[in-house]
A = this chain, B = another copy of it.
Amino acid sequence: MRVAGLISGTSVDGIDVAVVDIGESIQIVATLTVPYAPHVREAILAVSNAATHTATIARLNFLLGELFAEALRQVPVPLESIELIGSHGQTIFHEGEPADFLGRKVASTLQIGEGAVIAARTGIQTITDFRPADIAAGGKGAPLVPFLDYQLFRHAEIARIALNIGGIANVTVLPAGAAPEDVVAFDTGPGNILMDALAPPFDRDGERARAGNVNEALLQKLLADPYYHREPPKSCGREQYGAEFLRSSGIDIATAAELTVRTVALAVEGYPETREIIVSGGGAHNSYLMERLRATVQPRVTTSAEFGIGVDSKEAILFAVLAYQTHQRRPGNLPSATGARKPMILGKISMVP
């Protein structure tokens, strides 16, 4: 089955598209990133962070549906050959831990990028909203990528960690010979989000971070955040590292880069048998960050490109694979990764005639 995967990540840099053929194995047909126009990116960031009009969210949901469909059309693969679309959309809120709300405890997540629009524009059945079902089963709705990491990277004799450095950084711990229930995964903390905010749109090759000086006192203070020391499952959202964090911490870019590296290192230290770290996400392009990572962690550090998976397309591939699971009426979450009570069939299906 030929399936397209679509996602716009926490960095809000553009729409990642992957077209994959799924059967006995997963074959990547094409991948592409379609950048957002600056005013669209600003509108997304505005609804992701602050008080806003409901109208803006509603309109943005439909506009992103159009943009996601247009992004798919830009992939050099005939649309007629694609049988199914899995679109993650854009997360504008994520709170995996239940919060007090109107007298109850409520965990929630909110993705936009209207599936009905994508289905109507492409004529292809489209699955969206992959996180709510996991939250409905008591999970944190994240991370979902371990499902793919398990399929792609598990090894009978080599213990590995898959590390994705998007806006937020997350790891999938794959012990040697792991069964699905042995997989542990969690957000380690900030990925590129702080660096992006301090050197917009992003610090190319980590040049500014490399030129700066790490504020070791501030770093130690930030590393004391109990989140980094808590046992998984755990997940965090971009709102935790937003304007308020930047303002109250006064963090600089060199310290932000180091915070990403050191929180990843803290996570990795918990799994001393690990022999390889496989990096993907925008952070894999940041040579300074990769250098600091290699200098700081014990295992060999490589990227998903070594396995034929472009560092920018892993998550889009994930949502193609998750859509396929749902289409086959099979679960797509790993309860050991998300904390859900049980495997769930993820997503909502928008049908076409």
**Which 4 pairs across A and B sit closest by C-beta, in order of nearness?**
A348-B348, A120-B136, A116-B132, A58-B110
- The answer to whether the Cβ of A246 comes within 8 Å of any Cβ in the partner chain is no
- The answer to whether the Cβ of A179 comes within 8 Å of any Cβ in the partner chain is no
Residue numbers in B under 8 Å from A101 (CB-CB): 59-60, 63
Residue numbers in B under 8 Å from A51 (CB-CB): 51-53
- The answer to whether the Cβ of A117 comes within 8 Å of any Cβ in the partner chain is yes
Expressed in whole angstroms, the Cα–Cα distance for A135 and B141 within the complex equals 29
A interface residue numbers (CB < 8 A to B):
39-40, 43, 47-55, 57-63, 65-66, 92-93, 95, 99, 101-104, 106-110, 114-117, 119-121, 128-129, 132-133, 135-137, 239, 326, 329, 331, 343-345, 347-353
Given the contacts A54-B52, A348-B349, A136 and B114 also touching, CB distance less than 8 Å: yes
Residue numbers in B under 8 Å from A344 (CB-CB): 116, 120, 353
Beyond A51-B51, A62-B107, list 6 extra A-B contacts (CB 8 Å): A39-B103, A43-B102, A50-B54, A55-B95, A61-B108, A329-B353
Expressed in whole angstroms, the Cα–Cα distance for A329 and B103 within the complex equals 39
Q: Are A62 and B120 in contact (CB under 8 A)?
A: no
Residue numbers in B under 8 Å from A329 (CB-CB): 351, 353
Q: How many copies does the complex hold?
A: 2
Can you name 5 A-B pairs with beta carbons within 8 Å? A57-B93, A59-B95, A59-B101, A129-B348, A329-B351
Which of B43, B95, B108, B133 contacts A120 (CB under 8 A)?
Answer: B133
Q: Are B110 and A136 in contact (CB under 8 A)?
A: no
Q: Are B63 and A106 in contact (CB under 8 A)?
A: yes
Expressed in whole angstroms, the Cα–Cα distance for A40 and B128 within the complex equals 27
CB-nearest residue of chain B to A117: B136
Residue numbers in B under 8 Å from A121 (CB-CB): 136
A69 CB to nearest chain B CB (Å): 10
